[in-house]
Amino acid sequence: MAQAIGSASQRASGFGSGGLPRNGGSAKGSGSSNRPRMTWKNNLNALVVDNERFSQHVEKGILRNFGVETEAVETGEAAVELIASGATFNLIFIDISLPAMDGPRTAMQIRAMGVQSKIIGLSSSLTEEDEEEFLRAGVDKCIEKPLTTAWLVPVLRELDGQI
Amino acid sequence: MDYVTQLQKQLVDYTASLFHEKFLDEQFNQLQQLQDESNPDFVVEVVSLFFEDSERLLNELGKVLEQQIIDYRKVDAHVHQLKGSSSRFSLGTRFFHGSIGAQRVQSVCITFRNYCEEKNIEGCLKCLQQVKHEYSLVKSKLDTLFKLEKQLVAAGGSIPTYVV
């Protein structure tokens, strides 16, 4: 049973580290919620390779909300090009189904370039075959979309601790 | 009860019903948490993108099924993607929990894929219709939700947070 717990005030979050006040959009400039929810010892950055627009939007949203500078591209080729130009990322998310060069092939190419960052394979509907193919291609782990804060936070903590 | 309070109550009740009928679930809460001053329209953006993407997918599916010679592998791949993305706004889970008697997107998708294997065009078309119906149902529910929120904000109120 849903109940309102006050308006525009800090919400007691059922999960995660303290919710942000949700505003109607017209209130601007109070400043407090432009800060990310967590800060890290290091500057963490991530690359999202996903051509499903709404999940790309969500992935970027979650990562940025946790203070991770995030870039997003729609194709494997674009990701490879970006990395070839010298960009480095702590964390790379690759969707399994991309136009032209698919997720696993993209992961393989990226690994072949010597990238040792943590790579996570994403899928809308993860099957065992998908997972095996992705892992063979060199990703560290596969998860089914959507990306959740519950999953992400420990991963970011671990990454931050390792740098 | 003043106008703003009235609107607020209307919004809370409506949102409660969407959660209760399992049109929305925890994931929606997560999305709301990502919305703030620097990202004031995040939820509306994500939901719009979701329906745009889904519409495109459903249209592509329709086109593939209209061909003289149907590529059932393509149909299957699209349905696979539909099945995955439909779980995003619990379009699927609401029917796993068997609350409302209407179409069940996730089990429709399973049926859909079976029809693909059997190369049963009529079965596929029927499933496509069912899925389209379900999507338009959810879309209109969410459109109503966003309209209520807009009304509330325009009246000077702020959107309450929901605890389910």
CATH number at residue B5: 1.20.120.160
Report pLDDT digits (tens) over A109-160. Answer: 999 999 999 999 998 778 899 999 999 999 999 998 878 888 999 999 999 9
- Higher pLDDT, residue B50 or A27: B50
CB < 8 Å & 24+ apart, contacts of B148-155: B148/B7, B148/B10, B148/B11, B148/B14, B149/A24, B149/B11, B151/B7, B152/A24, B152/B4, B152/B7, B152/B8, B152/B11, B153/A24, B153/A25, B153/A26, B155/B3, B155/B4, B155/B7
The number of domains in chain A is 1
Is the confidence at residue B29, as pLDDT, over 50? yes
Which residues, including other chains, have CB under 8 Å from residue B160's CB and lie 6 or more apart?
A4, A5, A6, A7, B8, B11, B12
User: Between A and B, how many CB-CB pairs are < 8 A?
Assistant: 137
pLDDT-based confidence at B85, cuts 50/70/90?
Answer: low
B50 band by pLDDT with thresholds 50, 70 and 90:
confident
B28 assigned to some structural domain:
yes
Instruction: Report yes or no on A25 lying in a domain.
Output: no
State the CATH number of the domain containing residue A122: 3.40.50.2300
Q: What value does the mean pLDDT take over residues B62-84?
A: 84
d(CA B131, CA B125): 10
Q: Which of A62, A66, A65, A38 is nearest to A50 (CA)?
A: A62
Instruction: Calculate how close chain B gets to A16, using CA atoms only, in Å.
Output: 9
Distance CA A107, CA A109 (A): 5
Residue contact B164–A1, C-beta within 8 A: yes
Instruction: Establish if B107 belongs to a structural domain.
Output: yes
Can you give the pLDDT at residue A48?
Answer: 98
CA distances from B64 to B59, B69, B76, B112, B134 (A): 9, 9, 11, 14, 20
**Residue B84 maps to a domain:** yes
Residue-range definition of the domain harbouring residue B75: 1-155
* pLDDT tens, position by position, A45-103: 999 999 888 889 889 999 998 999 999 999 999 999 999 999 999 999 999 988 889 99
Residue B20 in any domain: the answer is: yes
- Residue A9: inside a domain, yes or no? no
Residues of B in contact with A65 (CB under 8 A): 33-34
> Is the Cβ pair A4, B12 closer than 8 Å?
yes
B101 lies in some domain: yes
Assess if residue B1 is contained within a domain.
Answer: yes
Note down the domain range covering A100: 42-162
- Please count the structural domains in chain B: 1
Out of A2, A24, A146, closest to residue B153 by CB: A24
Please indicate, yes or no, whether the overall pTM of this predicted structure exceeds 0.90.
Answer: no
Q: Average pLDDT in the B93-108 region? A: 43
Q: Is the ipTM of this complex over 0.90?
A: no
Residue B163 resides in a domain = no
- Bridge-based pairing state of the strands B160-163 and A3-7: antiparallel
Q: State residue A91's pLDDT score.
A: 97
Please check the confidence at residue A1 and state whether its pLDDT lies above 50: no
